[in-house]
Chains A and B, each alone.
Chain A
């Protein structure tokens, strides 16, 4: 019986011009937005690769320099973007595009695209993710809002009831029919997306995204039929679904983010940087001030080599002191950045709880994780860049220490292109799909819970279906 209802629902939707009209419109929209996003991402990636090579070539061929002054020009790390990042740019617009890696200091990434963005409404960019995550649920609401109310308005629900039709197969059949119609109606959109993403070598994450989207749409379809079960008229059902859609997509996530920011705030930029500076200057508890640490280190160094002056040391004293000083600064930076990231992760968890009342937020989180544009991927990149910063500054200082004796002047230039070219190269391996899956476990679970709860509510409502 359920299959018969599902086929009837599917036939009805296929005969309805709305499915084909809106499905085609959505496919065109998704195709257009995705083509533009893919083109922009590819062009940005080409530019990143070009600039990365150019910046490295500048480093490699800078000629004779003082090695420490050269190190201060620094190197840059750029985060590569996955193919799926063109579908869900996630937090990319809010984070810097380039991380300046210099001695002594750990930086935040520079040039967030949001700061350079043209004036807009501020509701987020019109991305493929917006079409897939926000507009498709609206299509589901438009297609399915009358699934039960129409039967009620036409009086056929009473007839079905009278002929012994039970509620559960009826509503589940309606849900299955709506899901099947969506699969058929969105087929052009899937094909367009698949074709555009096929070249991007993101097949694995794309398949997982498709799976998550199926869960997401199924949940929305269940909610749509559920609302239709409980409303007297199709108009009321559409209005309720519209309100739910606006609340789920625009209101709940935004109010929650604002509330989380108020409830668990991050330190201000000034406080963050000044605490780091304070801990470097005055030392972590029990570790003495910078002057005391330097004095103790100098004493130890002189005693170890049996000399009375830094000038008599058999290696570059300044470079050795820098290594010691920077190791301490690195420890302080690591401590404060970990605290900052921990605070950001706490905010993320709070946001997850606050937005659990909408399937949109977990779906967006899953899409971002799979696209590599979430907080975890960002922190992975920044951690890798920090490790590289330490690697290259230590390399420079160790070379300086071993190539000089005593105290050298910063004005003297004793390193050349061979030294720059020997500096380790920046290579970033983005984490694999397993990492993305682990990051999206909680949100994926929420998504599955949404589907189960919606189906359970549908089954419960079916028993009380009022003809």
Chain B
């Protein structure tokens, strides 16, 4: 029976409480986590606020467009206005976030999450310029709350557990300890590790709270899941620390081994997994895609009139106006370009999903990586969610173009009653 008695619990609690180093380490961890979580919580809050404003902004833009179109008579000028509207901000989208946004909000600054459905090609003129950031700060900024937990908590766990038994041995107290405990050292060790686990878990949960409390979209269910994940993460590192403290080596050697273990599990293994994922599912080259984009542009420019004619033949309900002139000639070119480049988009998405799958499969080897991936899943900013968002944008853009392109091609433009039915992005 290794379950500790009340005396074991009390004795080990006293021993931990009287270690000033433990208090300093836990206090420092709490402070850093609080700072990181507050920053993440504020970012998540800002994102939610902007998301809530999206609807009102779109309503305003639509009202302005309606007042403009009310003055327009059907004809070429109205078709041009329809084309410009189709390239404008009314096609804006935003990736949907989940309840745990504060746990993965940092990905929103890196991924394209504000794409726009357009009559222009998203590969060319409607390319997303992305958020404006100083690359220097982006490269050295906070990596997100889960990553900070994954980085620091193991170190504190290992420091708290360092030399638990070795120090007793080195000071000649181990024998005495063994004699005093009627059920051997097991209950003593379990009580010591149990208090450390509880202390670490409490600090981690408290330190994470601002990330979720500051985010109005967070839920209790996410908090419970995150707390459970933190519990498992703490348990792994406390167990490893406990195991290392039992190894019959000196306290210094045990600490070096703990440091090596932390470096391996936190840096080397995730880096190895990334390499493996890149090898298993290589991303197509972004630079090579430029050549493909240029080729598609040139091909559609060369066959501009043939493309317009083909479009009219496929849509007999629209009267053909040939030779096609701007903007009609541009619209069919863009449709052709995007069709030619569709394969690239699919390849990128498949490679990203493939890499994410390889990393998810191997994440159990690195508890920190597993924790970060869980955070991103709870936030809805993981690779699978992003690929899902890209698919939603593609589908929305299809509806957007199906709605607007015929009105540009018929050289009449949208009527006001049609404009009221303009598609909206709904993730």
Of listed B39, B266, B267, B302, residue having the most chain A CB within 10 A: B267
Contact with A254, one of B142, B294, B295, B373 (Cβ below 8 angstroms): B142
Q: Check if B91 is an interface residue, CB within 8 A of chain A.
A: no
Given contacts A119-B355, A119-B356, A261-B137, contact A126 B268 (CB under 8 A): yes
Q: Is the CB of A267 within 8 A of B152?
A: no
CA distance A273 to B129 in the complex (A): 10
Q: Are B372 and A122 in contact (CB under 8 A)?
A: yes
Nearest-neighbour CB distance to chain A for B110, whole angstroms, equals 5
Contact B290 A55, beta carbon cutoff 8 Å: yes
Which of the candidate stretches A1-9, A154-162, A166-174, A232-240 sits at the interface with the other chain? A232-240
Cα distance, A361 to B137, chains bound together (Å)? 12
Task: Give the Cβ gap from A136 to chain B, nearest Cβ, in Å.
Answer: 13
Contact assessment for B259 and A112 in the assembled complex, using a CB-CB cutoff below 8 Å: no
- Chain A nearest CB from B336 CB (Å) reads 15
Q: Is the CB of B141 within 8 A of A98?
A: no
Docked-complex contact A269 and B132, CB < 8 angstroms = yes
Stretch of B178-186, B270-278, B391-399 lying at the A interface: B270-278
Q: Which of B86-137 contact A (CB under 8 A)?
A: 106, 110-112, 127, 129-137
| Chain A residue at minimal CB-CB distance from B325 | A411
Chain A, interface size category, equals 35 or more
Decide: A234 near B252, CB < 8 A? Known: A122-B147, A378-B135: yes
Within 8 A of B (CB), among A234-274: 234-236, 238-239, 242-243, 246, 250-251, 253-255, 257-258, 260-262, 266-269, 272-273
Main secondary structure of the interface of A (DSSP, over half): helix
| In-complex Cβ contact of A347 among B32, B136, B263 (8 A) | B136
In the complex, how many angstroms separate the beta carbon of B150 from the nearest chain A beta carbon? 6
Interface check B410, CB cutoff 8 A: no
Neighbouring A residues of B251 by C-beta, 8 Å: 235
Looking across the interface, which residue of chain B has its beta carbon closest to that of A110?
B127
Q: Are B266 and A121 in contact (CB under 8 A)?
A: yes
- Interface window among A62-70, A175-183, A299-307: A62-70
Render B321-334 as a binary contact track against A, CB cut-off 8 A, 1 for contact.
Answer: 00101100000000
Binary contact track A381-424/B, C-beta < 8 Å → 1, others 0 = 00000000000000000000000000000110000000000000
Tell whether, in the assembled complex, residue A116 and residue B151 are in contact, meaning their CB atoms are under 8 Å apart.
Answer: no
Q: Does B63 contact A (CB under 8 A)?
A: no
Q: Are B274 and A124 in contact (CB under 8 A)?
A: no
One digit per residue, 1 when the CB lies within 8 angstroms of any chain B CB and 0 when it does not, for chain A 103-135 equals: 000011011101111111111111000100001
CB distance from B94 to the nearest CB of A (A): 12
Contact A91 B135 (CB under 8 A): yes
- Is A51 touching B287 in the complex (CB atoms < 8 A)? yes
The bracket for how many chain B residues form the interface is 35 or more
8 A Cβ contacts from B169-223 to A = none
Q: Indicate if B413 sits at the interface (CB-CB under 8 A).
A: no
Q: Contact between B259 and A51 (Cβ–Cβ < 8 Å)?
A: no
Give the complex CA separation of A418 and B32 in angstroms: 63
Instruction: Say yes or no for B376: interface residue by CB 8 A criterion.
Output: yes
The residue of chain B having its C-beta at the shortest distance from the C-beta of A52 within the complex is B287
B143→A122 contact, CB < 8 A: yes
**Cβ distance B389 to chain A, nearest Cβ, rounded Å:** 13
Residue of A nearest to B270 (CB): A121
Contact check, B287 vs A97: say whether CB atoms are below 8 A apart.
Answer: yes
Query: In the complex, what distance in Å separates the CA atom of A115 from the CA atom of B298?
Result: 28
Give Cα A117 to B372, complex, Å.
Answer: 15
Chain B residue at minimum C-beta to C-beta distance from A63: B302
Instruction: Please judge, given known A-B contacts A62-B298, A257-B137, whether A121 and B287 are in contact too, CB under 8 Å.
Output: no
Q: Does A76 interact with chain B (Cβ within 8 Å)?
A: yes
Q: How far is the CA of A269 from the CA of B298 in the complex (A)?
A: 30
Q: Is the CB of A51 within 8 A of B288?
A: yes
Tell whether A428 is near chain B: CB-to-CB under 8 Å: no
Q: Quick check: is B255 within 8 A (CB to CB) of the other chain?
A: yes
CB distance from B12 to the nearest CB of A (A): 20
Residue A433 is within 8 A (CB to CB) of chain B in the complex: no
Cβ-defined contact, A255 with B35, below 8 A: yes
Question: Does the CB pair A118–B301 fall under 8 Å?
Answer: no
Q: How far is the CA of A121 from the CA of B143 in the complex (A)?
A: 8
Residues in A whose Cβ lies below 8 Å from that of B290? 51, 55, 76, 98
The interface residues of chain B lying within 8 Å CB-to-CB of A81 are none
Judge if B138 is at the interface, Cβ distance under 8 Å.
Answer: yes
Q: Is B228 an interface residue (CB 8 A)?
A: no
Contact B271 A126 (CB under 8 A): yes
Query: Shortest CB–CB separation between residue A59 and chain B, in angstroms?
Result: 8
- Contacts A114-B138, A119-B372, A142-B259 aside, 15 further interface pairs with beta carbons under 8 A come to A48-B287, A51-B287, A97-B287, A118-B352, A119-B360, A119-B382, A120-B372, A121-B368, A124-B139, A142-B256, A236-B21, A258-B142, A273-B129, A347-B134, A351-B136
25 of the cross-chain contacts (CB-CB < 8 Å) are A47-B288, A51-B291, A65-B301, A73-B298, A111-B287, A112-B135, A116-B286, A119-B355, A119-B359, A120-B359, A120-B369, A121-B143, A121-B150, A123-B147, A126-B268, A142-B259, A235-B162, A235-B255, A236-B21, A243-B28, A251-B32, A257-B141, A261-B134, A262-B39, A351-B137
